[in-house]
Structure 1
Amino acid sequence: MQIMAFICFILIVLLLKDFNFFSSFVTAEHLQTFKTIFISILLEAMPFILLGVLLSSLLQTFVSEQAIQRFIPKNPLLGILFACLLGILFPMCECGMIPVVRRLILKGMPVYIAVVFIITGPIINPIVFAATFMAFRNHPTIAYSRMGLAFLVAIVIGLILYRFIKSNPLRISRTSFLTEQELDSHQHTGGISRKLNTFFVHASNEFFDMGKYLIFGSMLTAIIQVFMHRESLLAIGQGPISSHVFMMGFAYILSLCSTSDAFVASSFQTSFTSGSLLTFLVFGPMLDFKSTLMLLSVFKTRFVLFLILLISTTVLACSLFWEHFLS
């Protein structure tokens, strides 16, 4: 991702220079449109990223996993509902969730509940709803549909995992976990000043980490909007299947934070169907390039591959169902 961002940055630097090589197909109007789209997406999304980072750091520093585990229900349907509601109570992105969920699984949380929490937490929370509602001010049903579709996908995935996954899919051993737990308990034994320091360090790290993905995503979106022929974009965006598949691949590559992806999606409203935009808004937070790498670092490869296949097919099927019967 860093290499791709660097290449994209070099491209923009070259475009901003008046090289004769580019002058034949890059006009002043192209550059002005690019800057307008890029800056508008960035400025609209940045406040929501900041708010999400602050809440995520607050939870990371002051809320223990034991406090969450205490309320886990035994019934699978109630467990899935509980995992979805956790996102409302504790809005976090997948970058902060995956390490926490690993500890929760080792402390007794069922795998199907943990995975549902990972995939729905970045979507079903008030910050993301507010950002989506703001991005689609002229089409607010997208915000409600995003929450509903994510919940439908979560139920399907949760029940499948409950039925077929019985063993522990984590890479970490029990011994390593006990050592980590001792370190965590040592780190949490400190005064309020130490916790505040941890809070601000975590918040700053996560803000800059999320910020680079937002910049890259906004840049790539602006390039596509400016330099891809509108006829080609419309041909893909209006296709009954191709629009959904394209948006899934686009969301996977961009790896945007769920508090900012709605502003990217809204820029495609005139080119893509509402159903494919929903696919983008639901699939991206559940599975993208950076989250795949994080999942592989925590879970066994076989389980991650199964999860990738399960999320991709379920989101596509549920999105098509939602578009044809519920929208």
Structure 2
Amino acid sequence: MNQMNPSRWLPFLLPAALVAACLIVIVPPLLASVSMDFNYIHLFKTSFIGILLEALPFVLIGALLSSLVHHYISEDTLSKWIPKNPAVGILFACTLGFIFPVCECGMIPLIRKLIQKGMPVYIAAVFILAGPIVNPVVYGATYMAFRLHPEMVYARMGLAFLVAAVIGWMIYATWNSSPLKTKSLSDPSIQHHHNHRTHRQDHQHTHMHDHTHHAHPHKHETGHSEQRGKMTSIFIHAADEVFDMGKYLIMGCLITAAIQTFIPRESLVAVGGGPVSSYIFMMGFAFLLSLCSTSDAFVASAFTHTFSGGSLLAFLVFGPMLDLKNILMLLSVFRVKFVLYFAFLICTVVFIGSVVVGKLYLS
């Protein structure tokens, strides 16, 4: 048997000694800092869970109401209620959210259908802006998040109403053509297709009417089956909206908890104390987070002691009107020129309005 030669291990002794010395020097401070890291992780986890649990019930309520509107309110019925007078139409669109509390996630597809059926562009724009904010679900969520500062609730509702009305008037005065990428029902080719489809549906209805006397024994069972199918469809649609909005909510809660935990408070105070930087930061923060309007108030309330009331108001009003997911949805439906013009109006009016309201009402 070959004996082990100690000289073979001599080249490894110096590196081993250096590694051992480094471990002796580094490990004790590292172990001391691990407890600090665990404290940060615990603080991050607590902050994230707290924000998420406060916001989740309102997301569920908003998704269920949106699903009910989707299944029981037709676009034709809504179009018949639109006033012809521009001033009354803008006021009507501003308060439409109280009747149809649709989240901004489902607003763009609904508006596209309404414009195709004849809704004026300026009324559609007002509904896009005011609908996700000026509704009872968002009011309740904002009140729960700012129950110690109720003035923020009224400021949010009032400024959203004002911004939507001002932008509606601007679009009414400056934009006359259809902003949709696709043609509306007023186009002859689409109208012909629509009439052909209506004629086919009428023929099918007549054909079904001719055979109704064969279906009388099963009418009761069919009605119950249709009702169960509609209820199932409502809950499936609501669940889809919750999962669709939930990923943005979780992302927003994670980012907010990380900012609160890992960014020094002095840095946030320096940004939040700036007369302009605080507004720009919170508007950009709202754009990137892309939170649902039923949950963003709980994120904003986490910065109550760091940012000014006006900058928090800018976050609460700007986010539901224009964020990353909304602008992608707008670009998929509307022309690029209209989306850029619309975004410019939102940025300008929200910034000016939040500064003025913050100085006069929230200071």
TM over 0.5: yes
For structure 2, list consecutive stretches of 5 or more residues without a partner in the other structure: 1-29, 206-222
Q: Could you tell me how far apart the structure 2 residues matched to 1:323 and 1:131 are?
A: 21
Q: Is 1:35 matched up with 2:45?
A: yes
Alignment correspondent of 2:246: 211
- CA drift of 1:176 comes to 6.3
Is contact 2:94-2:165 (8 Å) kept?
A: no
Deviations 1:154-187 (A, max 9, x none): 111011000001000001124568869969x98x
Which of the numbers 184, 199, 221 marks the counterpart of 2:234? Answer: 199
The one-letter amino acid paired with 1:270 is: H
Distance change in 2, residues 1:241/1:299 (3 Å):
same
Supply the AA of the counterpart residue of 1:299: F
TM-score (norm 1): 0.88
Tell me the residue number matched to 1:57. 67
Q: After superposing the two structures, state which structure 1 stretch, 173-182 or 249-258, moved more.
A: 173-182
Write the letter of the residue equivalent to 1:162.
Y
**1:156/1:103 Cα in 2 relative to 1: closer, same or farther (>3 Å)?**
same
Q: Give the aligned residue type for 2:352.
A: A
Distance in 2 (CA, whole Å) between partners of 1:98 and 1:178 is 25
- For the residues of structure 1 that align with 2:194 and 2:259, how far apart are their CA atoms? 44
RMSD (CA atoms): 2.3
State the SS of the aligned residue for 2:95.
helix
* 2:355 maps to 1:323: no
**C-alpha distance in 1 between matches for 2:173 and 2:300:** 34
Q: Which amino acid aligns with 1:276?
A: S
Match of 2:78 in 1: 68
For these two proteins, the number of residue pairs brought into alignment is: 304
Change (3 A) 1:26 1:164: farther
Specify the SS of the correspondent of 1:109.
Answer: coil
Q: Distance in 2 between matches of 1:207 and 1:91?
A: 15
Query: What is the aligned partner in structure 1 of residue 106 from structure 2?
Result: 96
Matched, 1:153 2:163: yes
| Structure 1 position 77 matched with structure 2 position 87 | yes
Specify whether residues 140 and 251 from structure 1 end up closer, same or farther in structure 2 by C-alpha distance, changes over 3 A only. same
Does the 8 A contact of 2:55 with 2:295 survive in 1?
Answer: yes
1:240-293 deviation digits (Å, cap 9, x = unpaired): 111110000000000000000000000000100011000000000000000111
**Structure 1 segments of 4 or more deviating over 2 A?**
23-26, 173-183, 189-198
Could you tell me whether the CA contact under 8 Å between 1:275 and 1:323 is conserved in 2? yes
Does residue 315 of structure 2 align to residue 280 of structure 1? Answer: yes
Q: Secondary structure at the match of 1:258?
A: coil
Shift of 1:27: 1.3
Q: Which residue of 1 aligns with 2:261?
A: 226
Q: For residue 176 of structure 2, what is the amino acid of its counterpart? A: K
**Structure 1 residues 149-158 or 167-176, which shifts more?**
167-176
CA distance in 2, matches of 1:216, 1:321: 31
Q: Mark the runs of 5 or more structure 1 residues left unpaired by the alignment.
A: 1-19
Distance in 1, matches of 2:308 and 2:119, equals 38
Shift of 1:325: 2.5
Q: Deviations over 1:98-135 (max 9, x none)?
A: 11111111111110100110111110000000000000
- Larger Rg over CA atoms: 2
Rounded Cα–Cα distance in structure 2 between residues aligned with 1:192 and 1:41: 37
Task: Work out the CA distance in 1 between the residues paired with 2:175 and 2:36.
Answer: 53
Q: Secondary structure at the match of 1:27?
A: helix
Mapped partners of 2:121, 2:268: distance in 1: 40
Query: CA 1:72–1:238 in structure 2 vs 1: closer, same or farther (change >3 Å)?
Result: same
Note if 1:240 corresponds to 2:240: no
Residues 83/177 of structure 1: CA separation in 2 closer, same or farther (3 Å cut): farther
1:245 partner amino acid: I
How many Å apart are 1:197 and its aligned residue? 3.0
1:282 and 1:177, CA in 2 relative to 1: closer, same or farther beyond 3 A? farther
Letter of the structure 2 residue corresponding to residue 65 of structure 1: E
Using the alignment, how far apart are the partners of 1:77 and 1:308 within structure 2?
22
Matched position secondary structure for 1:80 = helix
Q: Distance in 2 between matches of 1:30 and 1:179?
A: 62
Cα distance in 2 for partners of 1:241, 1:68 equals 41
